[in-house]
């Protein structure tokens, strides 16, 4: 049975978070494969954008998508941290 979330605003925020984290993943991957000042800065900016998007979500929605995005964001922070230690 298909279940639909009746809160389109909540879905929109979660979609924005996931899009931001996806963009972050690409930026971190680019910085890891081509570590220049510019790619690292782009990854850091993308991290900030993803964190801001996550902070805009409403924690009372109890959406599992937010939890997944938080986990993905933490993973990307770890990946970016490895680059900064080089």
* pLDDT for the residue numbered 1: 36
Token representation of residue 70: 């938080």
Window from 53-57, 65-69, 79-83 with minimum mean pLDDT = 65-69
Q: Is the pLDDT of residue 4 over 80?
A: no
Q: How confident is the model at residue 83 (pLDDT cuts 50, 70, 90)?
A: confident
Q: Which residues of 14-24 are buried (b: 16+ CB within 10 A; e: fewer)?
A: bebbbebbebb
pTM (global) more than 0.85: no
Integer CA distances (angstroms), 75 to 4, 53, 85, in order: 29, 16, 16
pLDDT at 7 > cutoff 50: no
14-57 pLDDT, tens digit each:
788 888 999 999 999 999 999 999 999 999 999 999 998 888 77
Per-position DSSP letters for 17-85, written without gaps between them: HHHHHHHHHHHHHHHHHS--HHHHHHHHHHHHHHHHHHHTS-GGG--HHHHHHHHHHHHHHHHHHHHHT
């Amino acid at each position: 049975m298909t279940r639909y979330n009746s809160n389109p605003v909540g879905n929109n925020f979660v979609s924005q978070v996931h899009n931001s984290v996806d963009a972050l993943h690409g930026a971190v991957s680019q910085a890891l494969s081509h570590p220049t000042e510019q790619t690292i800065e782009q990854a850091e900016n993308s991290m900030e954008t993803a964190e801001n998007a996550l902070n805009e979500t409403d924690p009372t929605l109890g959406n599992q998508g937010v939890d997944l995005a938080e986990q993905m964001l933490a993973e990307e922070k770890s990946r970016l941290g490895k680059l900064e230690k080089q």
